[in-house]
Structure 1
């Protein structure tokens, strides 16, 4: 064996090497995709290009499609997409999937939901896979030791035609989080702290591997939150090595694996780890004890502060692009320099998205809401991440608890995360949101988004303003 073959390798390098069909040059490979997920808004052009070229889909069974971004979420026995352009996108996806034999979770499929929620939930994601999707938050699946990342429309066409992708190799970053998260804090708070410290471009060009005591202590769904938002620091991917929790989760969600086949799969998955001595291009260290409940104050996930903190003062930043960006964000959000977010009134609360709409998120909300009611001046809605999450919440009595407390209990979908449907904030409305992005106009024209954990959003709903959930006696 050569020295190159025996050199310690990172988990990322192992995943790339096992999926490399051909080495194109020193920086690019032809990468095989185990699974390609599609939605209604990034696939139409790709299918049209395939038809124009007279090409088919190479492996329909390794593709799956879902309607999630444009779908209305208001309660209804049968969901109908009324908006004409959105209805056309959904019908075109159905026609293309029928023509090519691709499985589709349509608007009224009982397993319909947000693509990054349903894929692991339905056993589509397994350690060691390469998973592609025309959506940047495909990084979510790194929580199960799979290399997931978003691709563009032209790349969607290439994957459909060949089940491969021309892939530029990434640099590697390891983020070690020591210690344990304090009571009352979550993976959402941890990732907001990380993004604040390294910046929105701090992981640009890297695939990040998370490790350390704090990461090992997270549930699988909390790990999904962490990997989901790694892209908000510019990461091209996020990974957590599979452990006993991972194997238990995957076995529970993959009924097709059993007996000797499952035992063999688990043996392979246990080997999916970075070798001792593997070299990373960059290594960073964080202390879990530094984490508090975090809230964004600006128009980027990096513009956040702990709830005990204050909005930055412009003079504390050198003159230049960063200060100008901060000044624009303050103008947009209507906040004053040095202000506290504690006590800031909100008109809306949104609990949902591929970041925080899983059953554990809803259980956390229930802990806060039980015995309380939504404040009179607040309109609060909860949008479960999938039909399965919705049914589980109803089975556990959570849905009725939410309704009795004054929340709107909706159907699954992306909803107000990006307002491509009829769930939209009005101009000037301020929203406590569990989503992943707080860009200008993201949830509605001239609307203001404050990112936070589900527990913090629930606390804002019942208080009528942004508040520290720990003051309500809720510790987890």
Structure 2
């Protein structure tokens, strides 16, 4: 990271957006690589906070700034239709009750199991106006990078760091390097932000952004909706990124002002003026730069057990013997054993038994609209189970008001309560061994959705296409039925 020159005769050094955010939140410089960083908002969930609270209590400490913290039960909550929502699993129920007790003890807002707005933390926080440009937002969950869509520096932290933040509202933070990814052109019909980020991860690799905060820019990024930008930044961590940023433009600031009811009057004017400076300066230094063109982007589908093992829907499964001898070949061989795919086979036409539409990557209203456009007037294929899980109670209510929920149920899909659900096998929604799932989630690791379960990552529209055809299908071959 590059800081400004303090020589009185020197011109200020141009800064990246990332550097601006870090500098504006640095309480103290610890050494050349580490600073003490103030955290505007700390999000907590039920599975990374218990040990942190226990450590805090063992030392007799209080939470330093309760109002800068928020908690939500999301990963373990069942999504079965109907209320009330009861967690039957004993250890999971204990996690939820402990979180509630800790939040009550320290005066931390909690979106618990019975809250009508309850949902996934990374969907809930922006829609409730908690995320604003220029903030530092942290959470014990790696997909906190999502908030870069609004020009906020978000990243995941570990349990010991959660305790430090609770006690001080600061974090000992190791500086990252800067990477810029420019995407030219415009996304063609049938391709989405999910396809774009899968393509990028496939090109640069699952470790391609390790140690970097990535700033996305370019005409294709400018044209994305805010919800699509959430998807993009959410999955940047799958390339190893320590953060993802998009400079806030009018579209982003309009989103924030529409959701943050407390920003009005003089505060609104001051905020807008501040946000206008949240961009990388001309001539700012990036250690690594990549450039892509979205114009010919084809819908993407993962074939292996890492998000970078991805292909266009028109592609064929790699043949390991054609790869260089070494880790890449061995990884491909192991991935094919796990996914039970034949080397050289076409991805299109691969039968699936399950479809999952949801998650912090693709559980927002625009994602559900895209899936409904495919499912409207069609039926889920025989032998396929489809679960549609909204990202929050607010998304659920809106989808029902728009008639999307009716589209899903009429097609034969299950319309469920909000939560993380089948993104990861931490709740009731778990796939059986050998079940192949078309999924809108962010990870396809071995066992991610259930022991022996096989995950193919794709966009909501592509998942819906698989639902009605019973196999991995190019959605561009289907007629879409928008309202």
Q: What TM-score range do you get, normalising by the shorter chain?
A: over 0.9
Q: Which residue, out of 255, 259, 262, partners 1:256? A: 262
Other-structure match for 1:14: 20
Other-structure match for 2:470: 464
- The answer on 1:371 being equivalent to 2:377 is yes
Deviation at 1:290, TM superposition (A): 3.4
Structure 2 matches for 1:12-91, cutoff 5 A? 12-91=18-97
Alpha-carbon separation, structure 2, partners of 1:314 and 1:80: 46
Q: Deviations over 1:314-335 (max 9, x none)?
A: 1221111110011000000001
Q: Deviations over 1:402-453 (max 9, x none)?
A: 1111010000000000020000001100000000000000000000000000
Other-structure match for 1:394: 400
Q: How many aligned residue pairs are there? A: 476
SS at match of 1:174: strand
Deviation at 1:5, TM superposition (A): 6.8
Other-structure match for 1:381: 387
Alpha-carbon separation, structure 1, partners of 2:292 and 2:169: 38
Other-structure match for 2:3: none
Give unpaired runs (5+ residues) of structure 2.
Answer: 1-5
Give unpaired runs (5+ residues) of structure 1.
Answer: none
Alpha-carbon separation, structure 1, partners of 2:239 and 2:479: 32
- The answer on 1:171 being equivalent to 2:199 is no
Alpha-carbon separation, structure 2, partners of 1:44 and 1:422: 21
Q: 1:122 to 1:408 in 2, by over 3 A?
A: same
Instruction: Tell me if the contact between 2:302 and 2:457 (Cα under 8 Å) persists in the aligned partners.
Output: yes
Q: Which residue, out of 274, 278, 286, partners 2:284? A: 278
Instruction: Tell me if the contact between 1:184 and 1:474 (Cα under 8 Å) persists in the aligned partners.
Output: no
Q: 1:347 to 1:270 in 2, by over 3 A?
A: same
Deviation at 1:475, TM superposition (A): 9.9
Deviation at 1:474, TM superposition (A): 3.5
Other-structure match for 1:147: 153
Other-structure match for 2:423: 417
Other-structure match for 1:190: 196
Q: Which residue, out of 216, 223, 231, partners 1:217? A: 223
TM-score by length of 2: 0.97
Other-structure match for 1:118: 124
Instruction: Tell me if the contact between 2:376 and 2:481 (Cα under 8 Å) persists in the aligned partners.
Output: no
Alpha-carbon separation, structure 1, partners of 2:242 and 2:460: 25
Alpha-carbon separation, structure 2, partners of 1:300 and 1:321: 13
SS at match of 1:131: strand
Other-structure match for 2:273: 267
Instruction: Tell me if the contact between 1:200 and 1:302 (Cα under 8 Å) persists in the aligned partners.
Output: yes
Deviation at 1:264, TM superposition (A): 1.2
- The answer on 1:244 being equivalent to 2:254 is no
Deviation at 1:76, TM superposition (A): 1.6
Alpha-carbon separation, structure 1, partners of 2:439 and 2:42: 29
Q: Deviations over 1:20-65 (max 9, x none)?
A: 0000000000000000000000000000000111111000010000
Q: Which moved more, 1:201-210 or 1:332-341?
A: 332-341
Deviation at 1:473, TM superposition (A): 2.5
Alpha-carbon separation, structure 1, partners of 2:424 and 2:405: 24
Alpha-carbon separation, structure 1, partners of 2:384 and 2:403: 23
Regions of 4+ moved over 2 Å: 1-5, 473-476
